[in-house]
Amino acid sequence: MTRPAPSRPALRDDVRIVDTTLRDGSHAMAHRFTESQVRATVRALDAAGIEWIEVSHGDGVGGSSFNYGFSGTDEMRLIAAARDEARQAGIAVLLVPGIGTVDDLRRAHDAGAEMVRVATHCTEADVSPQHFAAARELGMQTCGFLMMAHKTSPADLAKQARIMVDAGCQAPYVTDSAGALLMHEARARFEALVAEVGDDAWVGYHGHQNLSFGVANSVVAQEVGVRYLDGSLCALGAGAGNSPTEVLAAVFDRLGVRTGLDVGRLLDAAEEIVRPYLTRWPKMDRNAIVQGWAGVYSSFLLHAERAAERYEVPAHDILRRCGELGYVGGQEDMMIDVAIALAQELTA
Active-site pick, 27, 57, 109, 316 = 27
Residues marked as binding?
23-24, 177, 206, 208, 297
How are beta strands 141-147 and 172-175 bridged, if at all? parallel
Q: Is 27 one of the catalytic residues?
A: yes
| Residues 111, 145 contacting (CB under 8 angstroms) | no
Whole-number CA gyration radius for the chain = 19
d(CA 150, CA 252): 25
Buried b (16+ CB within 10 A) or exposed e, 216-249: bbbbbbbebebbbbbbbbbbbbbbbbbbbbbbbb
Please report, in range form, the residues annotated as the binding site for substrate. 23-24, 177, 206, 297
How far apart, in whole angstroms, are the C-alpha atoms of residue 44 and residue 206? 22
Give dist(CA 151, CA 133) in Å, integer.
27
Residues at the binding site for Mn(2+) are 24, 206, 208
What is the sign of the dihedral through the CA atoms of 138, 141, 145 and 146?
positive
- Give how far the C-alpha of residue 281 lies from the chain's centroid of Cα atoms, to the nearest Å: 17
Please tell me the distance from the alpha carbon of residue 75 to that of residue 79, in angstroms, as a whole number.
6
Q: Measured between alpha carbons, how far is residue 47 from residues 20, 135, 202, 254, 290 in Å?
A: 16, 27, 25, 21, 37
CA distance 317 to 323: 10
Q: Please identify every residue annotated as catalytic.
A: 27
